[in-house]
Each structure stands twice: as C-alpha cells, then as structure tokens.
C-alpha cells in the first residue's frame, strides 16, 4: 500500500514539474513568436471585410438615389388597336364585320423631367398608341398626349396635365465612367417602382438592333433590366438621370446580364428639340467615315488603331469648308475621345446645326485641331422651304395641262430637273411625273415636301410615271 501511495505521489510530483517546465518554455516561445511576426504582413481570409471606419459607405448606399428617383418614374400603358384580318379590311374597311380590330395593351416606363408633367420614354413604348395612360408611384393615373417622337434615337416625349410633380434632373452622360455605380428604375413585368443596381460596363456601345437606322451609342450596364423597364431611368448614385433604359440582348427575352440605355445627353437634346421646334434638328459633320482598325492603320502607316477615318467629304458639309481632308483620322471632338464610329455618332447626336466643335484629327501622324461649324443634312444651319424635295428628288412643278390631258390625270407633279442619282441611273427625266409619295397622291410640290419631311429618318416609296407611259417605283431613304 505504501508503495502505491509513493508511486502516485511521485507521478503527481513529476507531472507538476513537467507542466511547470512546459509553461515556462512555451511562454518564452510565444513572446519570441510575437516579436518575429510583428514586422510581417498579416494574412487574412478572402472574405475579410474592410472596417467601416476606413470605407466610404456612401459609395454603395443607394437609398438616397432610389428615394429621389422612384417617385419620378411612371408606369406607361399603351392601348393600341391591331388589325384582325388585313385582307377583309383592305376590301371592306377597318370596321368590317363589326370587329373594329383587336385591342392590345403594352406597358413600359417613363421618367418625369419637369414638375408640369413632361415625361420622357421610349418611342417603341408609345408607338401606335390610340390611348396612353400614365400611372404615378402614388397610383394616380392620367391620360397623356404625345408631344413628339424620334424613332432614330427611340426617344419620345409625352405630357400629362398635372403640377408640382417629382422629377429627375439630367446629368452630363459624357462624364459617366466605366465601372461607375448606376441604378435602373422602372416597371419590369408590371412590377411597379422596381430598383436594381449595377455598374456601367461600357460606353458608346453599338448592338446593331436597327440595321444601322438608329443612333446606337448606348451606355451598357449590368443593372437588371427586363420587359417593362423600357423608357425607365438609369441614374447615378446622386439620383441624376444618365440614361433612358431601352434594350437588352437576350436569347430568352429576359435579362441575362446586359442592358442598354440611351445616354442622357442625346435624350435631353431630343426632348428640347421636340418642345422648341416640334421635330429633331440633327447635326452633321459632312463626312463619309469608316472606323479605324489595325489593318487600315498599317495600310495608311499611322501609329494608332483607334479613331474614325474620313473616307470622303460632302460638298456642302462643314468638314470640307473647315479644311478637313480625306484620310484624316478623327481622334477627338471637343474634349471627347473618338475611338470608334459610335463615339462620333453619340457626340453629334447631342449637337445642333450651327454649333461649332473642335475636331482633333491625325494627319501625317501629327495632331491638328480644326474648328468645324456643323450643318444639317443639306449642309445648312436651317431647312429651306423646299430643301427636302430639291435635294432628294430635284426641281419640281405642278403637272402641266398638256401632260394631265395626255395621261388623263388630275394629280401629280413634274420634274423640271432630276437630282437623285438613283433616278438618273434609271433614266428618269425632265417631264416625268411623280404620282405619289409614301402611298399618298400628290397634287402640289409642297405636298411632296411635306411628305418627305414627315418621313425623316425613314424611307418612302416614290411612284413615277416615265416618258414611255410606264409606272416605276423607287425606294429612297430620307435623312434625319
């Protein structure tokens, strides 16, 4: 028994001595280790968050921008009537059979831009509308009238009879930076007052949704945009309007990571023109252009691969008058870098005929700055009384009594001279008769002019009776 007690006591004593030695040695080791690592970088886990005291919280706090914007973004309902049977309507009229056509309803978004009820949206949101209803965020509804629309930019302006409305101010979209936070505000799938966030992914993006017929210099963002968002607001973190949400690219019809907005500078210019003039005044530089690339740069022996190459000059354009030459490479306009054609298109779309811009070109590998006064589609500051018919067709006059009698016509206008190259190539001559423009019979020269103006940015069919008594049809594009 004494041996067992002695053995236990010895074990306890040995353990105590060992433990004391361990603590003493380990304590010294910890002190040494702490000193050794004090001058080394700290390793942290990948999900480590920067303390709030060293991070600008307002950068990712969208509550203020959302609150200021959501009340100024409206729901737009488009009530249209579509044909039910085009063949029956052609022979018996649109109300044949008492159908009156099929009523369809489309929805989208809009942005209030003034307290007295001006609302900006997309042209495709209100196109073909028989009735337009605007619903505010507080659920009040108003009928709206169309002030004007510009299909080439897909921007439209409508107005409601109301006052003291919340509205969004325009920002300068030229100052938007790639990587900047933005909010998309709208009504996707009829879910009103929806806010999503993302960053600006790219600027001056051309997605070729119109086959070259539209101004395509979009702001690309990864903020979620879906059907119903069209016409809604893209705003910065200060709640300022930087774009109008317009399109997505998707194989499913829903958002898959890319959305596109018309820059606010273009939208602002369009609505100002619609209010002041009733239509949009488009500015032209007066050049034919192709985007610069590595192959062209090598051929021209230039030391850059970004810019717009001047491949031709219009006779009456501002560029030729100012001294720009063929093979000049446009690299900057005012303070805006021109790296591709969409940059040039976007810049000009925010300007008006008569504006003077500083164009920087690369000529013989040297930069040269040239001031250019922009013109309209005919190289002038304003449209003359018969500019469209004279420049696009030729000099016209009312049909003569002799021609009217010969062809048994009581309508039509004659060519005094032919200017359109397409007509000349097809042997259209002086004395040939224009019977209709855009499927509308014409009796006076001014009617031809008005029909051409009404189809700016589109195309029309011209019906011409030639000198041999045959009717020919020609499709011509009308510059915006």
Q: Rounded distance, CA 267 to CA 469, Å?
A: 48
Whole-number Cα distances in Å, 404 to 156, 240, 395, 465: 42, 61, 19, 12
Residue 222 a catalytic site member: no
Catalytic one of 230, 259, 389, 436? 230
Q: Rounded distance, CA 149 to CA 124, Å?
A: 9
The pairing of strands 366-373 and 356-363 is antiparallel
- Which residue, among 131, 232, 123, has the nearest Cα to 457 in the 3D structure? 123
**For residue 133, what are the β-bridge partners?**
77, 143
Residue 28 a catalytic site member: no
- Which residue, among 334, 311, 327, 333, has the nearest Cα to 365 in the 3D structure? 327
Helices (H), 189-293: 264-276
Q: Rounded distance, CA 122 to CA 363, Å?
A: 40
Residue 150 a catalytic site member: no
Q: Rounded distance, CA 118 to CA 96, Å?
A: 38
Catalytic one of 153, 154, 259, 343? 154
- Residue 470 tokens read as 């045959």
Query: What is the enclosing helix (H) or strand (E) of 405?
Result: helix 401-407
Whole-number Cα distances in Å, 452 to 101, 215, 278: 29, 20, 16
Answer for the pair 333, 360: CB distance below 8 angstroms, yes or no.
Answer: yes
How far is C-alpha 262 from the chain's CA centre?
Answer: 3
- Which residue, among 134, 127, 144, has the nearest Cα to 109 in the 3D structure? 134
> Long-range contacts: 51-58, Cβ < 8 Å, 24+?
58/237
- The residue whose two tokens read 């159908």 is 99
Q: Kindly provide the b/e burial profile for residues 159-179, where b requires at least 16 CB atoms within 10 angstroms of the residue's own CB.
A: bbeeeebebbebbebbebeee
Answer for the pair 203, 175: CB distance below 8 angstroms, yes or no.
Answer: no
Q: Rounded distance, CA 126 to CA 123, Å?
A: 6
If you ran DSSP here, which 8-state letter would residue 169 be given?
Answer: P
**For residue 185, what are the β-bridge partners?**
195, 233
- Sign of the Cα torsion 400, 406, 411, 416 reads negative
Phi, psi of 220 (to 5 degrees): -95, 135
Whole-number Cα distances in Å, 470 to 388, 417, 432: 25, 19, 10
- Residue 387 tokens read as 């500019």
Catalytic one of 71, 75, 124, 150? 124
- Residue 69 tokens read as 């914007």
Active site residues: 124, 154, 230
């Amino acid at each position: 028994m004494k041996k067992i007690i002695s053995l236990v006591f010895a074990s306890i004593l040995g353990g105590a001595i060992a433990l004391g030695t361990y603590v003493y040695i380990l304590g010294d080791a910890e002190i040494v280790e702490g000193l050794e690592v004090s001058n080394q970088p700290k390793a942290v886990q990948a999900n480590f968050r920067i303390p709030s005291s060293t991070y600008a919280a307002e950068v990712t706090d969208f509550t203020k921008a959302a609150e200021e914007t959501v009340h100024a973004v409206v729901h737009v309902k488009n009530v249209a009537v579509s044909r039910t049977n085009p063949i029956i309507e052609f022979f018996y009229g649109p109300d044949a059979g008492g159908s009156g056509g099929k009523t369809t309803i489309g929805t989208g978004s809009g942005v209030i831009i003034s307290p007295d009820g001006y609302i900006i949206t997309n042209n495709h949101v209100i196109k073909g509308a028989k009735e337009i209803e605007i619903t505010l965020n507080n659920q009040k509804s108003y009928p709206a009238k169309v002030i004007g629309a510009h299909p080439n930019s897909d921007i439209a302006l409508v107005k409601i009879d109301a006052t003291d409305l919340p509205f969004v101010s325009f920002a300068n979209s030229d100052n938007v930076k790639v990587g900047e936070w933005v909010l998309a505000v709208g009504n996707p799938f009829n879910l009103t007052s929806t806010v999503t966030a993302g960053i600006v992914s790219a600027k001056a993006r051309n997605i070729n949704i119109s086959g070259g017929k539209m101004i395509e210099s979009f702001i690309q963002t990864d903020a979620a945009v879906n059907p119903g968002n069209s016409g809604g607001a893209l705003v910065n973190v200060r709640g300022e309007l930087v774009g109008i949400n317009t399109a997505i690219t998707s194989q499913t019809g829903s958002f898959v990571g890319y959305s596109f907005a018309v820059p606010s500078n273009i939208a602002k210019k369009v609505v100002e023109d619609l209010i002041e003039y009733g239509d949009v005044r488009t500015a032209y530089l007066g050049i034919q252009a192709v985007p610069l690339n590595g192959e062209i740069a090598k051929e021209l022996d230039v030391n850059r691969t970004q810019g717009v190459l001047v491949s031709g000059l219009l006779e009456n354009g501002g560029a030729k008058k100012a001294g720009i030459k063929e093979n000049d490479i446009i690299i900057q306009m005012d303070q805006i870098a021109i790296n591709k054609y969409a940059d040039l298109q976007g810049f000009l779309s925010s300007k008006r005929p008569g504006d003077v811009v500083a164009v920087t070109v690369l000529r013989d590998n040297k930069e040269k700055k040239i001031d250019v006064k922009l013109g309209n589609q005919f190289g002038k500051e304003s449209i003359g009384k018969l500019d469209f018919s004279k420049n696009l067709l030729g000099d016209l006059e009312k049909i003569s009594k002799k021609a009217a009698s010969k062809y048994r016509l009581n309508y039509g206008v004659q060519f005094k001279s032919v200017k359109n190259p397409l007509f000349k190539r097809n042997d259209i001559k002086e004395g040939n008769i224009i019977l209709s423009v855009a499927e509308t019979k014409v009796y006076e020269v001014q009617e031809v002019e008005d029909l051409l103006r009404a189809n700016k940015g589109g195309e029309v069919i011209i019906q011409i009776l030639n000198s041999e008594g045959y009717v020919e049809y020609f499709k011509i594009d009308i510059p915006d």
